[in-house]
Amino acid sequence: MIVWIQLPALKVHFYHQEVLTSLGNLIGRTIKLDFHTMNRQRRKFARLAVEIDMTKALVPRIYLDDHWKKVVYENLPIVCFECGKVGHNAECCSNADRRPHRSSYYPPASRFWAPQGPLRRR
């Protein structure tokens, strides 16, 4: 499945095609870089289209420049916040039965991100 992602608050020296493609490849397979990102017209976040494997958990963040950087997914279908996979919700999650007792359970990394709705046009 091809989705648009946002990488918020990147430093300007990361706004090069090779660097952004490599960052996208940490999440999936980079398909396309946003026109406004490549022209450095949008500085709040870099925007990339990546192909993700829907059978695997989404990548919630990447480690870059000694910091964790959040990955924001645009317009995803249903996402399970128990296992981080696309296509079902927590109530239907088959992994929910296998998780440890709630008192000793540390939530998966997917709890630290949330999908983003469509971008608003000005």
CATH number, residue 54: 3.30.70
CB 11 within 8 A of CB 43: no
Q: 70 lies in a domain?
A: yes
Q: 41 lies in a domain?
A: yes
The count of structural domains within the chain is: 1
Q: Containing domain of residue 79, as a range?
A: 2-112
pTM over 0.75: no
Q: How far is CA 78 from the centre of its chain?
A: 14
Nearest residue to 75 via CA among 52, 102, 109, 44: 52
What are the pLDDT tens digits along the chain (122 aa)? Answer: 899 999 999 988 899 999 999 999 999 999 999 998 888 887 799 999 999 998 888 899 999 989 899 999 998 878 787 787 777 888 888 875 555 444 333 344 444 455 566 655 55
